[in-house]
Structure 1
Amino acid sequence: MFTTAYDLFWQYRDVYLRGLANALTAAAFGLVLSLFVGVLAGVVRFSSRGIAGRIVGIYVSIVRNTPMLVQVYFIYFGLPAIGITMSAFATGVVALTFNSGAYIAEIARGGLAAIPQGQTEAAMALGLNQRVLLARVLVPQAAPTVLPAITGQFVQLIKDTSLLYTIAVLEITKAADDVGNETYQFLEAYLASCVIYVVICAVLNLLVDQYERRAGFSRHRRV
């Protein structure tokens, strides 16, 4: 079975490699954009008790209480109803950003909330405004706690790209399905995709672990 799967992968390697490239590209764009969205949303939710904080809270609640597949379908099929049309790949990136941004927001908020209150009180006693307090005192202290969890999101994003198969984005799962439909060897086709996921995620986890050790974050466990 494994030999057949390897032969199938080699025969259709162009399809699998295109799927892998699309998955990595979508995950990379999703990570960069969700970092911006998530960190900003996390800071707002931590520091604001007004309408901005409530809006972020609603956003996080929606993402955490709905399946990502529903979010993908809503963006792909729902937004055109109000005049917003995107390609399938762009829809995938937006869906990954929307979903991952909420989780990064909670990671960032939790890291900021974990800092002892005395740090904030001391900074306020020195006359620092909230912007300087966040930029110079809280965020630098929260970074070692939240960075391992945030870097781990990239691995999760790689796996989440499999849902983009439902909107016909050629990623790893869609590549396996296309190969299976052409050869009728679905078990071997999906086994090849499974091996690709395992290898890519294992390599990324190894790189993240190496980075954390060199950066001095090894004492913090990634979720």
Structure 2
Amino acid sequence: MISNAYDLFWQYRDVYLTGIRNALLAAAFGLVLALAIGVLAGIARYSSCGLLRGVVAVYVSLVRNTPLLVQVYFIYFGLPAIGITLSAFSTGVLALTFNSGAYIAEMVRGGLNAIPRGQTEAALALGLRRRIVLYRVLLPQAAPTILPAITGQFVQLVKDTSLLFTIAVLEITKAADDVGNDSYQFLPAYLVSCVIYIALCVVLNLLSDVYESRAGFSKHKRA
């Protein structure tokens, strides 16, 4: 079985490598965009503006209470219905962004809420504006709590790219399916994809640990 899987990988290495590239690109683009959305949404959840807090709360609730696969289908079939046509890859990135943005928003909100209220009161007493307090006082202190969780979110995104197989994005799972259909060896083909996922996630987790160590973050601070 293992030798068959290795031979299959070598024979179809271009398909698997394309799947790996697309999975990493989709996860990377999704994380960058989700980070921008998540930070702004997390700040809105932390802010005193009731309207913004309510809108973001609805967004987070929708994401957390529906499966990612449903979100992928909703975006994939919903956008063309309103006249917006994107490639399958772009649609997949948008779905990953929409999903991860909500979780990052909760990470940011949790990091900000973990800072003692006295920090804000002291900064305001010194005459600093609330915006300055947020960006110069609170966010730097929340970073050690937020960033390790965000690096872990990238690993989760790599695994979540497997759902893009359902909209015909050539990622790792779709590569295994294509190889299985072509070779009629589905078990070895999916065994290769399993090994690829494990290898990628192990390497990414190790890189995350190295980053945390050099940045002075400890593992117990993971969200």
> Could you tell me the TM-score, scaled by structure 2's length?
0.98
- How far apart are the structure 2 equivalents of 1:201 and 1:219? 17
Q: 1:134 to 1:159 in 2, by over 3 A?
A: same
CA contact (8 A) 2:145 2:222 kept: no
Alignment of 1:26-105 (within 5 A): 26-105=26-105
**Structure 2 unaligned blocks of 5 or more:** none
Amino acid of the residue matched to residue 132 of structure 2? V
Alignment of 1:112-131 (within 5 A): 112-131=112-131
Amino acid of the residue matched to residue 128 of structure 1? L
Q: 1:219 to 1:193 in 2, by over 3 A?
A: closer
What is the number of residues matched between the two proteins? Answer: 223
- How far apart are the structure 2 equivalents of 1:186 and 1:210? 36
Aligned-residue Cα RMSD (Å) equals 0.9
CA contact (8 A) 1:145 1:220 kept: no
- Deviations 1:90-118 (CA, angstroms, capped at 9, x unpaired): 00000000000000000000000000111
Q: Which residue number in structure 2 is paired with residue 153 of structure 1?
A: 153
Q: 1:219 to 1:11 in 2, by over 3 A?
A: closer
> Could you tell me the TM-score, scaled by structure 1's length?
0.98
Counterpart check, 1:165 vs 2:156: no
Alignment of 1:138-149 (within 5 A): 138-149=138-149
Counterpart check, 1:21 vs 2:35: no
Secondary structure in structure 1 of the residue aligned to 2:106: helix
- How far apart are the structure 2 equivalents of 1:219 and 1:193? 29
Ranges of 4+ aligned residues in structure 1 off by more than 4 Å: none
Shift of 1:220: 3.5
- How far apart are the structure 2 equivalents of 1:214 and 1:121? 32
Shift of 1:78: 1.2
Shift of 1:163: 0.3
- Deviations 1:133-162 (CA, angstroms, capped at 9, x unpaired): 101110000000111001111000000000
Amino acid of the residue matched to residue 93 of structure 1? V
Amino acid of the residue matched to residue 7 of structure 2? D
Shift of 1:85: 1.3
CA contact (8 A) 2:144 2:221 kept: no
Shift of 1:219: 4.6
- Deviations 1:61-103 (CA, angstroms, capped at 9, x unpaired): 0000000000000000012111111110000000000000000
Q: Which residue number in structure 1 is paired with residue 135 of structure 2?
A: 135
- How far apart are the structure 2 equivalents of 1:48 and 1:195? 47
Shift of 1:52: 1.2
**Structure 1 unaligned blocks of 5 or more:** none
- How far apart are the structure 2 equivalents of 1:48 and 1:84? 35
Alignment of 1:101-112 (within 5 A): 101-112=101-112
CA contact (8 A) 1:23 1:161 kept: yes
